[in-house]
Amino acid sequence: MKLGLLAFPAIGVSLGLVACSEDAATNPNVDSGALYPPEISSSSDFLGTDFPGVELSSSSFFMPGIELSSSSIAGPGFGISSSSFVWPGPVVSSSSVVIPGGSNPGNESGDDENDNEDSRTLDGSQILLKLAGTSATVENNNGCVEVADKSATITCPGAYYVTGESSDFQVVVNTPGTENEGNTGIYLHNATIKSSNSPILVKNADKTVIHLVKGTTNVVEDGNGNHLFTKVNGAQDTSKAAIYSRDDLNIKGAGTLTVKGKFKNGIQCSNDLKIKNGNITVEAEENAIKGKGSLQISGGVLNVTAKKGDGLESDECEEAGGACKDTVAGKGIVEISGGNITIKAGDDGIQAANYILVNDSAEASTIKVTSTGKGMVATKFIYVNGGDINVTADDDAMHTKWRVYMNAGNVTVSSKDDGIHADSALYLKGSTINVVTASEGLEAYRIFAEGGITSTFATNDGWNGAGGPKENVGQYAAFSESGGHIVVSGGYHYISAKGNMVDVFDANGSGKMTGGVLILEITGQSYENQGGFNFGGWGGGGMGGGMGGGSGGCSSNMAGGLIDTDAGFEITGGVLLAFGNYSTDLPKCATVTYNNSSYYGSNNAAFKPTYQGNAIIYGGEVNSVSQVNTAGMQELKFPNGVSYMYK
């Protein structure tokens, strides 16, 4: 059987983005326009112009570290070959690595790449800050550590080791100088740093690196009062976290770190924050981890709890009148390219003013989010190019005001509102998606199902093409306050809905199917099943330009049901099997009494429904419907476990 489908395995699409605070490999020949998500190609001819209301400028969207050629862009989303991928960050050779602990304390590098290999035994040669209560002593002081007033201030770049336990003492980095003066490394070596202020405060530095020494356990805990400090320009400010940096901050190593933010946030950086590895636990009254400029996580184990705020956040944007007006190039982004991350949030799990990217690199990305707000929310884009993502949210599990690209990876969501929501467009390209429960499973002004494997269960609409400007099209436009479109061209998709006045496949504008597999079910009583708005006996071609050829006796109604569009549903290819008694659109329809113990369809495509009923809507390459013997057929299991059989 020719299904015209994308390949069954998830598409391995990868976007390489630059490390938040490290120099990136760049391509000077890349045209700035190539950095934008490409516009819709074939689909745009059918649907017209893009969703209005948001304008992209060269400064509003930037994706660092990506080399794109014209041949690498095919349709919506990104298609990037291995040859076009540029790995971010400098290449470090063995000769360029400086091992701390040499004979020249203070002149060694504050950063290196040996955190996972070197346990860094203290041998008496390091600059060592030994904490004790409200004070500290310094061994091998090079004249760059000043101890006074319950604080130790580091004034020169280099490597500084911290051990011992304090009750009210802070470590301050203040290394003013020219850019690229060198990194300031703070090596935590079984250190417990407690302070009524921010225990680790970076006032000024080119870049500060917090190293979690292998085999060590470290604690950073602040007090719950105001964290006042004087900036380098003499102005007064308040640090808002237990670990607070005004400049670039990296955290890495093979040790353990527990951060308790009793005042507001756990870890906060005003510029770019990068977490490379480590075993890190953060508990905060408000936001757990915040990189205002950007936040990149590339490895490690992170367990974060934000009691009243967001788990992970990056919120830098152009402000006007105290509100975010537009994004800043390369800022307001959260990038996850590895690590095992667990988030519990009193507000949103992951929030970005620009975009969120989930990727796999050397280490797989595993993300589990539980939130009372939204699970993952970005102003413009969400890219899922890999990883295993599990989101449980009281609000939308995934939400953007622009676009969502589901290119690869495994995603499971449970939501009390929308499973995945995009104000503009949602692209299903290669991800395996399981919407366990949601009010509306997938919702966007435009939904393009081009590949991937999805299963959706909803208590309202399964897939909802809605939003955007009001479109007075179709003979029932009076019932719609907005337009919306759904196009299915590839992939394997199962959608079910249960409840009163539910629509399984709902487009407030039009629907179109040219390929792929689409299985629809009403899995319980709905308003339509109970007799409301039933104009039974319509059969045949349905409404708004659907294919004719129905067997008659099937019911259609204005209230919706299996397929509900305002401007018509068109099918020219693929496989459509829809189980339920009512629909506004009837490509073809057979009055076949079905149960949940047998497969129904044709000899080349069949599905075992989870409920029972009296009518099956079908179309595309399925030209007749009956009970089917599936012996010799292949099985494809949707993420929820139900099976589609095919030849």
- Could you tell me which of 1, 48, 155, 15 has the C-alpha nearest to residue 469? 48
- CA dist 480 → 402, 508, 559 (Å): 22, 6, 12
Residues of the chain scoring pLDDT < 50: 1-107, 469-481, 526-552
Asked whether the beta carbons of 474 and 495 are under 8 A apart, the reply is no
Q: DSSP class of residue 491?
A: S
Task: Retrieve residue 579's tokens.
Answer: 């189980």
Asked whether the beta carbons of 304 and 287 are under 8 A apart, the reply is no
Residue 325's CB is within 10 A of a number of other CB atoms, namely 10
What's the whole-model pTM score? 0.81
- In terms of Cβ atoms closer than 10 Å to its own Cβ (0-12, 13-18, 19+), residue 337 is buried
Please give the backbone phi and psi of residue 46, each rounded to the nearest 5 degrees, phi first. Answer: -85, -35
Cβ partners under 8 Å of residue 48, min gap 6 = none
Angle at 392 between CA 337 and CA 454, to 5 degrees: 75
Interatomic CA distance for residues 227 and 220, integer angstroms: 15
Task: Retrieve residue 19's tokens.
Answer: 């490390």
Asked whether the beta carbons of 468 and 455 are under 8 A apart, the reply is no
Interatomic CA distance for residues 615 and 613, integer angstroms: 6
Tell me the three state secondary structure of residue 194: strand
Asked whether the beta carbons of 245 and 210 are under 8 A apart, the reply is no
- Write out the H or E segment, with its range, that includes residue 369: strand 365-371
- In terms of Cβ atoms closer than 10 Å to its own Cβ (0-12, 13-18, 19+), residue 391 is buried
Residue 641's CB is within 10 A of a number of other CB atoms, namely 9
- Could you tell me which of 214, 191, 330, 198 has the C-alpha nearest to residue 264? 198
Tell me the three state secondary structure of residue 519: strand
Interatomic CA distance for residues 615 and 500, integer angstroms: 19
Task: Retrieve residue 315's tokens.
Answer: 């919120």
Write down the residue that tokens 């005001």 correspond to: 401
Task: Retrieve residue 366's tokens.
Answer: 């595993």
**Residue spans of beta strands (DSSP E) within 485-604:** 485-488, 492-497, 505-507, 510-513, 517-522, 563-565, 569-571, 575-579, 588-590, 599-601
Interatomic CA distance for residues 412 and 435, integer angstroms: 6
What pLDDT score does 390 carry? 98
Interatomic CA distance for residues 616 and 591, integer angstroms: 6
Interatomic CA distance for residues 134 and 156, integer angstroms: 23
What pLDDT score does 621 carry? 94
**Residue spans of beta strands (DSSP E) within 196-239:** 200-204, 207-212, 217-222, 228-230, 236-238
**Residue spans of beta strands (DSSP E) within 438-484:** 440-449, 453-458, 463-465
What's CA 390's distance to the chain center, in Å? 10
Q: DSSP class of residue 84?
A: G
Task: Retrieve residue 227's tokens.
Answer: 């964290």
Write down the residue that tokens 């508990």 correspond to: 283
Interatomic CA distance for residues 291 and 250, integer angstroms: 10
Interatomic CA distance for residues 347 and 370, integer angstroms: 10
β-sheet with 626-628: strand ranges across: 626-628, 599-601, 605-607, 643-646, 634-637
Interatomic CA distance for residues 212 and 206, integer angstroms: 20
Interatomic CA distance for residues 139 and 613, integer angstroms: 80
- CA dist 547 → 3, 589, 592 (Å): 18, 10, 19
Please give the backbone phi and psi of residue 45, each rounded to the nearest 5 degrees, phi first. Answer: -65, -30
* β-pair type (605-607, 599-601): antiparallel
- In terms of Cβ atoms closer than 10 Å to its own Cβ (0-12, 13-18, 19+), residue 312 is buried
What pLDDT score does 61 carry? 34
The beta-carbon contacts of 431-438 under 8 Å, at least 24 apart in sequence, are 431/10, 431/384, 431/406, 431/407, 432/10, 432/639, 433/406, 433/639, 434/638, 434/639, 434/640, 435/397, 436/412, 436/640, 438/397, 438/413, 438/414
